[in-house]
Amino acid sequence: MVEKISETRKSFDEALSKVTNPQSLEELRLKFLSKKGIVNQLFEDFKLTSKEEKKLIGQILNDLKTYTQSKFNEFIQKLEKEYTVKKAASIDLTLPGKQKEIGSKHIITQTLDEIKNIFKGLGFSIYEGPELESDYNNFEALNFPTDHPARDMQDTFFINQNFLLRTHTSPVQIRLMKEKKPPIRAIMPGKVFRNEAVSAKSYCLFHQVEGLYVDTDVTFAELKGTLVAFIKQYFGSEIKYRFRASFFPFTEPSAEMDIWWQPKGKEGRWMEILGCGMVDPNVLINVGIDPEKYVGYAFGMGIERTTMRKYGIDDIRLLFDSDIRFLKQF
């Protein structure tokens, strides 16, 4: 048994001297130090020795186990040290560092921020509300009776009979007028949802900014002046615009604002940019505001449409595809 232990030690030293790479080192470990390795097999054989031999052989065997394990660990440390030195030597300090890709705001977020800043400069506060809304706040309080044909103008994602994904940010106006007494001057940015087929010109999800001003002696002329000030700051002072009579259930009279749009190399035309009007007295009554004392105006615009017109984007889907090649342009 003593001779066998001595031969194992010599065999281990010889095998260790031939190790040149991690693969051969692992082979050595499996052969000598694993559960089924030679060293552990010697401990199994040790159980069969006589009582007289156990003390001497047990000490020699323990020395072998300690020796082989320590030599193995020393060799691993040696390999790691050599690898670290080689790696450090391979670093060329004259090479330029790797340039980090820094993210930026999405073009929709940029447009929203710009619009918010313009209206904040005009004295408007910013309010937001939930995207899951009640049918009452989204339609009925805004002068859309249950059987009103204007409901068909907006294809709606209904959650159940009483709740839906809001089709515009106008419900925030209802919530605000219920919670706060006039004067009220605020804009309401946010996501809205409509059950529409996705195409180059429409999407089932988009963003809106709506505005509301309620006080005594509010006029349509003031509404026009506010919107003209906005588009001149956003599109430039040379922008051409016009107002056309229109219809919305929650405003009376109502109008749409158009701007003259002429992309490079194409024929110019009038394009609708937003809707607006004086708040219908029925809406004020629904939120507990006296229409005999207070009057207001409201307006709303789609952010995707505004962005597309400012930057000459012809497909709304580009704004949602997360194509880094497209987004990097902004």
> Among the ranges 46-55, 197-206, 292-301, which has the highest mean pLDDT value?
292-301
Domain boundary assignment for the chain: 2-89, 107-327
Which range among 22-31, 217-226, 271-280 shows the weakest confidence by mean pLDDT? 22-31
* Residue 253: cis peptide before it, omega within 30 degrees of 0: yes
pTM over 0.85: no
Mean of pLDDT values over 235-252: 92
The per-residue pLDDT for 65 is 80
Q: Name the CA dihedral angle for 273, 277, 280, 286, rounded to a multiple of 10 degrees.
A: 50
Residues 255, 200 contacting (CB under 8 angstroms): no
Residue 308, pLDDT > 70, answer: yes
Strands 184-193 and 125-126 turn out to be: parallel
Residues 33, 67 contacting (CB under 8 angstroms): no
Residues 22, 67 contacting (CB under 8 angstroms): no
The band of 191, judged by pLDDT with boundaries at 50, 70 and 90, is very high
* Mean pLDDT for the chain overall: 86
The band of 58, judged by pLDDT with boundaries at 50, 70 and 90, is confident
Which range among 6-15, 87-96, 168-177 shows the weakest confidence by mean pLDDT? 87-96
Residue 263, pLDDT > 90, answer: no
The band of 126, judged by pLDDT with boundaries at 50, 70 and 90, is very high
Residue 55, pLDDT > 90, answer: no
The band of 88, judged by pLDDT with boundaries at 50, 70 and 90, is low
Q: Which residue has the higher pLDDT, 171 or 68?
A: 171
Measured CA to CA in angstroms, residue 312 lies from 104, 255, 263, 308, 323 at distances of 20, 25, 7, 5, 17
φ and ψ of 126, to 5 deg: -120, 130
Q: At what angle do helices 220-235 and 107-121 cross, to 10 degrees?
A: 130
Cα(309)–Cα(132) distance, integer angstroms: 29
Return the CATH superfamily for domain 107-327.
Answer: Bira Bifunctional Protein; Domain 2 (3.30.930.10)
Cα(1)–Cα(46) distance, integer angstroms: 8
Cα(172)–Cα(161) distance, integer angstroms: 20
The per-residue pLDDT for 313 is 86
Mean of pLDDT values over 113-130: 96
